[in-house]
C-alpha cells in the first residue's frame, strides 16, 4: 500500500513539473496521470487490467490536437521511464489491449516530437 501511495506521489510530482513548464496543449500531465492511474497495478505486475482501459480510451478521446497528442506522449514517456517497476512491455501494449490505436509506442525511447 505504501508503495502505491509513493508511486502516486511521484506521478503527481512529475505532473506538476510538466504543468510548471507550460504547454500549448490542453491535455497536461495532470490529466494524463488521472486517466492512467487505474493502470498502475497492471503495468507494475501487481493487478489485473481492470478499469485501466476506461482511462486509456478517455485519454485517447481527450487528445484531439497534435499538441495534445505530443503532450500526452511526453507525459507517458516520462512516466514509463520514471519507475523501475513498470513492465515496459505491458505499458507499450496498453493501447492494443484496450482497442485503441495510437501512432507511437509508450516507451522511454519514443520521440514525441514526431507524433502527428
Per-residue pLDDT tens digits for 35-60: 999 999 999 999 999 999 999 999 99
CA gap 3, 1 in Å, rounded: 5
Q: At what angle do helices 66-82 and 52-62 cross, to 10 degrees?
A: 140
CA gap 99, 37 in Å, rounded: 18
Which band of pLDDT confidence, cut at 50, 70 and 90, is reported for residue 81? confident
CATH C-level class of 2-114: mainly alpha
CA gap 26, 42 in Å, rounded: 27
What cell was used for 32? Answer: 494524463
Can you give the pLDDT at residue 66? 93
Lowest-pLDDT choice from 7-11, 17-21, 45-49: 17-21
What cell was used for 70? Answer: 505530443
> Is residue 85 over pLDDT 60?
yes
- Mean pLDDT, the chain, as a whole number? 83
Amino acid at each position: 500500500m505504501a508503495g502505491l501511495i509513493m508511486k502516486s506521489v511521484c506521478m503527481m510530482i512529475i505532473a506538476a513539473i510538466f504543468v510548471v513548464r507550460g504547454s500549448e496543449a490542453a491535455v497536461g500531465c495532470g490529466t494524463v496521470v488521472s486517466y492512467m492511474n487505474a493502470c498502475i497495478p497492471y503495468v507494475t505486475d501487481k493487478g489485473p487490467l481492470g478499469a485501466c482501459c476506461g482511462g486509456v480510451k478517455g485519454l485517447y478521446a481527450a487528445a484531439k490536437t497534435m499538441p495534445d497528442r505530443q503532450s500526452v506522449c511526453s507525459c507517458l514517456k516520462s512516466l514509463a521511464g520514471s519507475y523501475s517497476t513498470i513492465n515496459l512491455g505491458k505499458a507499450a501494449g496498453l493501447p492494443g489491449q484496450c482497442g485503441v490505436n495510437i501512432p507511437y509506442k509508450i516507451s522511454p525511447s519514443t520521440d514525441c516530437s514526431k507524433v502527428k
